[in-house]
Amino acid sequence: MSLHVIIGAGPVGTATALRLAAAGQHVRVITRSGTGPDVDRIEKIAADAASAVRLASLAAGAEIIYNCASPPYHRWPQDWPPLAASVLAAAEHVGAVLVTMSNLYGYGPVAHPITERDPLAAAGPKGRTRAAVWAQALAAHQAGRVRATEARASDFFGPGVRDQSPIGRSMRRLLAGRPIAVLGDPGAAHSWTYVPDIAAALITLGTDQRAWGRAWHVPTGAPMSQRGIFTTLARIAGAPAPRLRPVPPWLLRVAGLAVPSLRELGEVAYQFTGPFVMDSAALQDTFGIGPTPADQALATTMTWWQHNGRTAASKE
Tell me which residue of 279, 298, 307, 304 sits closest to 218, measured CA to CA: 279
> Given 3.40.50.9100, 2.40.50.100, 3.30.830.10, 3.40.50.720, which CATH number is that of 3-155+192-217?
3.40.50.720
Contacts of residue 50, defined as CB under 8 A and 6 or more positions apart, other chains included, come to 79, 82, 83, 86
Phi, psi for 224 (deg, rounded to 5): -135, 145
Tell me which residue of 23, 52, 51, 20 sits closest to 36, measured CA to CA: 20
Residue 298: predicted pLDDT: 97
pTM for this model (two decimals): 0.94
- Return d(Cα 166, Cα 187) in angstroms, integer: 14
Strand arrangement, sheet containing 147-153: 42-46, 26-31, 3-7, 62-67, 97-103, 147-153, 215-217
CA-based end-to-end distance of the chain: 36
Residue 261: predicted pLDDT: 65
pLDDT along the chain (316 residues), means of 10: 94 97 97 93 96 96 97 92 97 98 97 97 95 98 98 96 90 94 94 98 98 98 97 95 86 68 79 96 98 97 86 40
- Return d(Cα 271, Cα 269) in angstroms, integer: 5
- Return d(Cα 205, Cα 150) in angstroms, integer: 8
- Return d(Cα 26, Cα 62) in angstroms, integer: 9
Residue 266: predicted pLDDT: 80
Residue 247: predicted pLDDT: 85
Contacts of residue 129, defined as CB under 8 A and 6 or more positions apart, other chains included, come to 76, 77, 80, 81
Parallel, antiparallel, or unpaired for β 180-183 and 215-217? Answer: unpaired
Residue pair 170/155 in contact (Cβ under 8 Å)? The answer is no
Which CATH code fits 158-190+222-315?
3.90.25.10
Phi, psi for 68 (deg, rounded to 5): -110, 25
Structural domain boundaries in the chain: 3-155+192-217, 158-190+222-315
Quick check: helix, strand or coil at residue 209? helix
Quick check: helix, strand or coil at residue 266? helix
Residue 297: predicted pLDDT: 98
- Return d(Cα 89, Cα 87) in angstroms, integer: 5
- Return d(Cα 10, Cα 162) in angstroms, integer: 10
- Return d(Cα 170, Cα 243) in angstroms, integer: 11
Residue 312: predicted pLDDT: 47
SS3 of 61-88: CEEEEEECCCCCHHHHHHHHHHHHHHHH
